[in-house]
Structure 1
Amino acid sequence: MNQQAKNLHLNEALHLFELFDWWYPQKLVEETGLKADRVKYLIKLRKEFKTAAKENQSKLTIEQTYILENFSQGLSFHEYKKLQELLPTSVDGNKFLFVDLFAGIGGIRKPFSKVGGKCVLTCEWDEYAQKTYKANWQSCEEHQFVSDIKTITQPKDQDDTPLTGKKQANYIAKAMPDHDVLLAGFPCQPFSIAGVSKKNALNRVHGFDCPDQGQLFFDICRILMVKQPPVAVLENVKNLKSHNNGTTFQVIKEVISNLPDHQETLFSKKIFKDKQAYWIANLNDDKPDPKIIDGIHYVPQHRERIVLLCIRADIVKKLDLDKKIDLRDIPKPQSRPTLKDILEPNTKVDDKYTLTPKLWQYLYNYAAKHKAKGNGFGYGMVTRNTTDVTRTLSARYYKDGSEILINQDDMKTDKLKCGRPRRMTPQECSRLMGFVSKDEEFKIPVSDTRAYKQFGNSVVVPVFQAVADLISPYLTTIIKSNE
């Protein structure tokens, strides 16, 4: 084998080897049919490979090359084909560059890749969400994956002292790649109704006062100030508008719309003279507010989210985009999938998703108690072969599934399932969130519990496909005007 062929062979093996970073052992067993002991051995080999790496060295060490060759040559044809099927596919285009911040499992990335974007940086804090993201989206060679955005936006010197002013801005300019579109579904927990209630119960601060998550909006603004991408798309919960009696949203609008005026907040001092603010589509529209989009138009799920479509003010003025782009023009399909298009027949779903008698009795009694008091608390039940619409899938779905229970009264001959509802499977959740259709499979390399959290924290993908489709016809002109 010549050197070029050998390099190609090792490169392919390297991609297959990465699967063992992302997939839970049991999930690999289920997906590939490999025996558990075999999977355990290959995972051990992968760990040895990573241990053999040298710090700050991009090339393979001699020991790594040996391990990689051992891995590759030891695979049977069946194992090779099964692992190859799990490799992520490329969805990127080459029309524009974008960064995907607070990315979750890629719900906003997919639509912007579909309209021709190439993702050059992804930021996601949760290590399990990273696994699902990497298992589904193949990135270009120059792509960077960052866990903590603050390593870019709030750098420190060798003495662990935070950089400010021009030094901070210069660091951001170098560390953050150039991009045309910034996507950011910044953490919603500090602003969501459930998140605020939980923090209040624990006597913790919320909103901008939350030090870990609430301040991340300002990290987005630091990037916008320094890199000045032509377009930014921000997403959060509907409650962002009313949080703290509307003060939180007023701050967000003020900072984005008058970005250069807030340099002292972002960098501790005024350092720029020629930076632009951003125009926000439909900023002053209120009732109805087209910035709040309900997923019900695209999937059978009631899920309202606020979308801030921001374009640099000088570009808007130059191209008269404030007269051309309107969120009220977001395309909505004439029909959408039904629960029958999303849910498997109850006969085909594993028994483990059916609620236990104890849990079902608890939820039933809890709902009856609150109904007697005139409250609306309780479970949400839907039936597969109907026009039912589910409640909002939340990150707590793994606990009891109460917000979306699937009726199983059709299972009269099954003593286990008859009379007791079930949870959705994680794959059904992927369809309810619009990641895939029923004819496709979303790769879920993590446990059911982790998967439920990830889908509950994600976005309805077709909503952002509609946003991407709205802005797509103008992107080429916008990017050219920025050159």
Structure 2
Amino acid sequence: MSLTSSKNNTLDIDKAVVSHYVVSKNKIYKNRAYEIVNDSKEYNEPETFYHALQQKLFGAEDVPFLEPEKKKFTFIDLFAGIGGFRIAMQNLGGKCEFTSEWDESAKKTYYANFGEVPFGDITKEEVKSFIPDGFDVLCAGFPCQAFSIAGKRGGFEDTRGTLFYDVAEILRRKKPKAFFLENVKGLRSHDKGKTLETIINVLRNDLGYYVPDPQIMNAKNFGVPQNRERIFIVGFRKDLNITEFQYPEPFDAKKVLEDIKEQNVVSSKYYLSTQYLKTLHEHKARHANKGNGFGFEIIPDDGVANAIVVGGMGRERNLVYDHRIVDYTPVTKIKSEVNREGIRKMTPREWARLQGFPEDYKIVVADASAYKQFGNSVAVPAIQATAEKIIKIILK
């Protein structure tokens, strides 16, 4: 590691330590936070981060989503993204004691909304060392990776080198009362089912948690108009003697696209150009001739959006009609004119609503980054409905 990258890593950790102390007041961060702020001149940032925190060391930043005044439980937020888990848990009275995320753009959004800079790479022992003892729930939307389990029983050691191993290692060391893991639906069939089988085996047999069978949950059943299926895995420490768990039932009220569409006229930059629309039609026709269903899709106002995803046809599978446009002047450098059919992409705010993020959630990055962040996030209402069941049990 170069001297420059080493200094940057230290700076990132220092920002995480100070902001965590400002928000959570957890004693694990106190001494180092004071040292960092007192020595902040060495970073030569008098008008930015440290100067602001010197003024506010005993009060949280002016952010939309503060910790609850009276906590009911504590949790940590791993692979935190932009804080979908955190919003759900705080809504239920949870106090976040540690958060980790390595994407720099996501960290910027997280800080704007929660006043904390997440710690970085959770695989690093230095980062793990800041996780406090005694928290109640571990939350993690960890990435899916294959394990090297050929000819083995698929236990704890077989998960080394994967990000699940780091989740399991934290569970082994800290032994929280419960955990809540989220992953893509494909985890169930990943590596012919061996990946999920190993995960469950480690959680149940190696770590000693009661783990009910994981369940596929769809966001559209929990108050957002998005057909988004994800696998939820929950568990409870065995000494709590919890022997059953019921995942939440779908909400009665169903939402449709019209419920989340922008109320005001949106910029022409979200409308497709005539050339791009022509390209999409040709692409769809080619696949249709081969018997495939790939291609763009326009969601009707009374319909439900497809899962918002990063890359590929993520945005093109969720186009909408919006005939309110009056100014067809291109905002971006497109090769042709803006289409006159009223076909546009959804805005980042509409994607935020599809994931159940509140209206006062701050979007502080460029559109391209915002789409990525919301596409990678969790559906907050589905997380909250399930977490409510978890918390109700452990608070007994």
**How does the TM-score come out when normalised to structure 1?**
0.63
Q: Give the corresponding residue for 1:258.
A: 205
Residue of structure 1 equivalent to 2:260: 342
> Is 1:147–2:120 an aligned residue pair?
yes
Structure 2 matches for 1:109-188, cutoff 5 A? 109-138=86-115, 145-152=118-125, 174-178=129-133, 179-188=135-144
Match of 2:212 among 281, 286, 303: 281
Distance 2:324 2:299 in 1: 13
1:429 equivalent in alignment to 2:360 = no
Moved more, 387-396 or 465-474: 465-474
1:434-476 Cα deviation digits (max 9, x unpaired): 012xxx2320111100010001101110001101221222232
Structural RMSD (CA): 3.3
Q: What is the percent sequence identity of the aligned residues?
A: 37
Letter in 1 for 2:132: P
What is aligned with 2:236? 311
Alignment-mate amino acid for residue 225 of structure 1: R
CA contact (8 A) 1:221 1:259 kept: no
How many angstroms apart in 2 are the aligned matches of 1:62 and 1:366?
A: 56
Map 1:471-482 → 2, pairs under 5 A: 471-477=390-396
Aligned residue type for 1:101: L
Question: Which has the larger Rg?
Answer: 1
Query: In the alignment, which of 295, 298, 301 is matched to residue 219 of structure 2?
Result: 295
More helix as a share of residues? 1
Superposition map of 1:60-459 within 5 A: 67=46, 87-92=63-68, 93-138=70-115, 145-152=118-125, 174-178=129-133, 179-188=135-144, 190=145, 207-208=146-147, 215-260=162-207, 277-282=208-213, 291-297=215-221, 298-316=223-241, 321-323=242-244, 325-327=245-247, 330-345=248-263, 348-383=265-300, 386-396=301-311, 401-408=315-322, 416-419=338-341, 421-436=343-358, 440-459=359-378
- Which runs of 5 or more residues in structure 1 are unaligned? 1-13, 19-53, 73-83, 156-170, 191-206, 261-276, 284-290, 478-483
Q: CA deviation at 1:223?
A: 0.7
Task: State the shift of 1:176 in Å.
Answer: 2.0
List gaps (5 residues or longer) in structure 2.
1-14, 20-32, 53-59, 149-158, 329-336
Q: Among 34, 37, 55, which residue is 1:58 paired with?
A: 37
Q: CA–CA distance in 2 between the matches of 1:145 and 1:66?
A: 19
Q: Given the two structures, how large is their TM-score scaled by the length of structure 2?
A: 0.76
Is the 8 Å Cα contact of residues 266 and 325 (structure 2) preserved in structure 1? no
Residue 402 of structure 1 aligns with an amino acid whose one-letter code is: E
Aligned-residue offset at 1:91: 3.9
Contact 2:147 2:195 in 1 (8 A): yes
